Amino acid sequence: MTRLMRPGIILVLGGNGRLGRALRHQWREARNVLWQARAPGADLVWSPGQPWPGPAQVSAIVALWGVVPGAGDLTENAALALAAQDLGAALGADRVLHCSSAAVYVPDPAPRPEDAANPSNPYGTAKLAMEQALHEWCTDHADGPAACALRIGNVAGADSVFASIARGGPVTMDRFADGHGPRRSYLDHATLGRVVQALLACPRADLPEVVNVANAGVIDMADLVRAADRRLIWRDAGHQGHTVALDLSRLRRIVDPGPTDPATLLADAALFAGSAA
């Protein structure tokens, strides 16, 4: 692939983060993408509030930047999202894609549709506040770029089980009353690239304001440990299973995410481990 299926320049904010590195690998041959970061290692080194050093016009923005738990003030997620919208308006972008999170949902065995947001932790609360701020921005700026918040599931390499596997040795995991470990909707890197490309290419009228993003189905974290050939040590959790599954009906109207498997997720995680932070 030498060019993404969209005319004009696509600007990616947060190109040095984990999602940025994953997307860079998938889009490594694309020639119409500019990568921004707040530190060296990207096409553009820039932070909000500084003079813009890039092109005067872009086609779309993919805002991967954000604050994750333990790395700063989570309320800054809303401010960064609004900064991306303002930049998109200044550069004539048609749309801005934003990274939200499956953390806006409480665990539940049933797949969570987009209207079921009910966060139970500070990160999920901050991401939902970000989505609400984007809705208000778009209401006040009807002529500006459309905003689409991607409620992303567990990305390969980016959750605690991969860190435990990478350390080597046995991995201790909660086993719930249903006999399983924690189960999640996961997202491999190739699907991340396909989904973002599809959301960039779809007609603006079809672009959802919020959309769940993951591969189909759920994966037991214990299966990741087994696939990595690590010894699994169970710890009795004593209550019902801990599942966060995403309803992908809205996403499938635009692109079929397809399934993934533990081996693919582990291979993607190895790419993370071999990349600079």
Do the beta carbons of residue 23 and residue 52 sit within 8 Å? no
Which value, in Å, is the radius of gyration of the alpha carbons in the chain?
Answer: 19
Rounded (10°) CA dihedral 204, 257, 71, 97: -10
Digit-coded pLDDT (tens) for 27-61 = 999 999 999 999 998 999 999 999 999 999 999 99
Residues in the chain where the model's pLDDT stays below 70: 1-3, 240-241, 274-277
Please give the domain boundaries of the chain with CATH numbers for all domains.
Answer: 10-158+185-219+246-262 (3.40.50.720)
Do the beta carbons of residue 57 and residue 9 sit within 8 Å? yes
Measure Cα distances from 51 to 40, 44, 47, 65, 79 in Å.
16, 12, 9, 18, 18
pLDDT confidence of residue 3: 63
